C-alpha cells in the first residue's frame, strides 16, 4: 500500500487532451483539486497500512471495507477531475487515466483478493464484493465520464466491440472443445498403449515450445495450398490467414495441458477403489464411467481451466493473422499509437481470463471430493 501512496502523490493521475490526435497534458493528484484534497484522499491508504500492523479479523474487515470504498471512489474522483479539467468549449476533449490510477487499481484489487483469502470468504461473497465497484463505474460512465478517453474509443466502436467479444469467445470455445475431445482420446490411448506415452508427450512438448507467431507462420503455407486444391475447404473459409490457422494453433497449444491433466487424473485414482468397484460386480465400462471418471473429473477440469485461460490470451495474438477478436483493437491501437484503443482490447481479455479462471476453478472445487464450494 505504501507503493500505491507514493504513486498517488508522485505519478500522473490523469491527462487531458483537446482531441484524439493531440497528446494529453499530464496532471498529478495535487494539480487537479489541490494538495489538501490529495492528502485527504491518502488517509484511507494510511489507515489500511495501520490496520495491516498486527492484523486480526476485525481489523481485516475494516481494511476490506476501506479498500472497497477506495475502488468505489475511483470513478467518482475521475468524474470530479472531468469537471475540473475538461473545457466545456472543447466537446472532443478526452481525459486519459494516468499511470498512478492504473497502478492503484491493480494494487487495490490485489489487496481485495488478499483480504478475501485471509478472511476466508467464499467465492460467492468475493463476487458480491465487486458489485458496488461495478455499479459505481456504470453510474459514473453513464452520467459523468463521457470524456473518458477509453470510453470514447468504446463509443466509436460499440458494435465492433460486441462482435469482437463474441468472436473471441467462439474461437476460444471451439479450440478448447476440440482439444478436450482430442485430449481425452489421446490420454485413453496412452493408458491402453504404454508405448504411445513417451512419443505422444514428446510431440506435444515440441508443439508447446514453438513460439505462437512462428506456429502461425508454419501453418500459413500448408493451409493456403489446401484451400487452393480443395474447393470445399475454401468455401468453409479455410485459408493461410484468418480463423483456420488460429484455431489449429490454439488446439495445438491446448493439447499438452489437456492430455497431461487427463492422463494424470485417470492414473491417479486409487487402485483399491477400482478393485472395490470390480468386487461389487461392476463391468469394466461401468467402473470407468461410474468410478474412475467422476473421481478424475476435478483434475480434468483443472486442465480445462488452464487451457481456457491460455487460449483467451493467445487468441489476442491471432489477430495478427486476421483471426479477428479483441486482439484487433490492440494491434490497431499500437499502429495508431492510441493506448486507449489498446486498452479497449486488452482489458476485456484480462477480465475474460479472470472470469473463466474463477468459474472453472469454482466448478473444480465443487466436484472435488471434500472440496469447498
Q: How far apart are CA 103 and CA 99, in angstroms?
A: 6
Task: Give residue-wise pLDDT tens across range 207-256.
Answer: 888 888 888 888 888 888 888 888 888 888 888 888 888 899 999 988 99
Q: Whole-angstrom Cα distance, residue 45 to residue 218? A: 51
Burial of residue 189, with CB atoms counted within 10 A of its CB: 0-12 exposed, 13-18 middle, 19 or more buried: middle
Q: In whole angstroms, what is the distance from residue 95 CA to residue 82 CA?
A: 7
- Residue 372 clears pLDDT 90, i.e. is over it: no
Contacts 24+ apart (CB under 8 A), 23-27: 24/94, 24/96, 24/149, 26/98, 27/81, 27/85, 27/98
Residue 133 pLDDT grade (very low, low, confident, very high; cuts 50, 70, 90): very high
pLDDT digits (tens, 9 = 90+) for 146-199: 888 899 889 888 889 999 999 999 999 999 999 999 999 999 998 888 788 888
CA 99 – CA 47 distance, rounded (Å):
23
- Which helix (H) or strand (E) segment holds residue 359: the answer is helix 339-367
Residues in contact with 199: Cβ distance below 8 Å, sequence separation at least 6, in sequence order: none
Backbone CA torsion sign across 263, 266, 267, 268: positive
pLDDT band at 370 (very low <50, low <70, confident <90, very high): low
The HSE-up count of residue 171 (CA atoms within 13 Å, CB side) is 31
Burial label for 160, CB within 10 Å (0-12, 13-18, 19+), is: middle
Q: What is the mean pLDDT of the segment spanning 119-135?
A: 87
The three grid cell numbers given for residue 351, joined into one nine-digit string: 477480465
Closest CA to 350 of 323, 320, 327: 327
- Over the stretch 56-101, which tens digit does the pLDDT of each residue have? 888 999 999 999 999 999 999 999 998 888 877 777 888 889 999 9
Q: Are 344 and 334 in contact (CB under 8 A)?
A: no
Question: What pTM did the predictor assign?
Answer: 0.85
Amino acid at each position: 500500500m505504501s507503493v500505491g501512496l507514493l504513486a498517488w502523490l508522485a505519478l500522473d493521475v490523469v491527462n487531458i487532451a483537446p482531441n484524439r490526435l493531440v497528446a494529453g497534458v499530464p496532471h498529478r493528484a495535487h494539480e487537479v483539486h489541490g494538495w489538501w484534497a490529495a492528502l485527504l484522499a491518502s488517509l484511507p491508504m494510511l489507515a489500511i497500512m495501520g490496520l495491516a500492523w498486527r492484523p486480526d479479523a476485525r481489523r481485516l474487515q475494516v481494511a476490506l471495507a476501506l479498500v472497497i470504498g477506495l475502488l468505489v471512489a475511483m470513478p467518482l474522483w475521475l468524474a470530479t477531475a472531468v469537471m475540473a479539467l475538461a473545457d466545456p468549449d472543447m466537446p472532443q476533449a478526452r481525459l486519459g487515466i494516468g499511470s498512478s490510477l492504473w497502478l492503484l487499481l491493480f494494487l487495490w484489487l490485489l489487496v481485495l483478493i488478499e483480504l478475501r483469502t485471509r478472511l476466508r470468504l467464499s467465492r460467492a461473497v468475493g463476487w458480491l464484493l465487486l458489485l458496488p465497484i461495478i455499479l459505481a463505474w456504470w453510474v459514473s460512465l453513464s452520467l459523468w465520464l463521457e470524456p473518458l478517453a477509453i470510453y470514447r474509443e468504446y463509443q466509436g466502436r460499440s458494435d465492433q466491440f460486441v462482435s469482437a467479444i463474441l468472436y473471441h469467445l467462439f474461437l476460444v470455445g471451439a479450440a478448447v472443445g476440440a482439444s478436450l475431445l482430442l485430449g481425452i482420446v489421446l490420454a485413453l490411448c496412452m493408458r491402453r498403449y504404454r508405448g504411445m506415452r513417451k512419443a505422444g508427450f514428446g510431440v506435444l512438448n515440441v508443439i508447446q515450445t514453438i513460439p505462437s507467431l512462428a506456429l502461425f507462420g508454419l501453418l500459413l503455407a500448408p493451409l493456403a495450398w489446401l484451400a487452393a486444391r480443395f474447393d470445399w475447404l475454401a468455401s468453409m473459409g479455410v485459408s493461410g490467414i484468418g480463423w483456420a490457422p488460429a484455431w489449429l494453433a490454439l488446439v495445438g497449444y491446448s493439447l499438452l495441458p489437456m492430455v497431461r491433466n487427463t492422463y494424470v487424473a485417470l492414473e491417479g485414482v486409487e487402485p483399491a477403489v477400482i478393485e472395490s468397484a470390480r468386487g461389487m460386480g461392476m463391468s469394466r465400462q461401468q467402473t470407468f464411467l461410474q468410478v474412475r471418471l467422476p473421481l478424475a473429473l476435478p483434475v480434468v477440469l483443472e486442465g480445462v481451466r488452464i487451457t481456457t485461460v491460455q487460449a483467451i490470451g493467445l487468441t489476442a495474438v491471432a489477430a495478427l493473422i486476421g483471426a479477428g477478436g479483441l486482439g484487433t483493437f490492440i494491434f490497431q491501437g499500437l499502429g495508431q499509437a492510441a493506448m486507449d484503443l489498446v486498452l479497449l482490447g486488452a482489458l476485456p481479455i484480462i477480465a475474460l481470463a479472470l472470469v473463466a479462471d474463477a468459474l472453472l476453478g469454482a466448478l473444480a472445487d465443487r466436484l472435488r471430493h471434500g472440496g469447498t464450494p
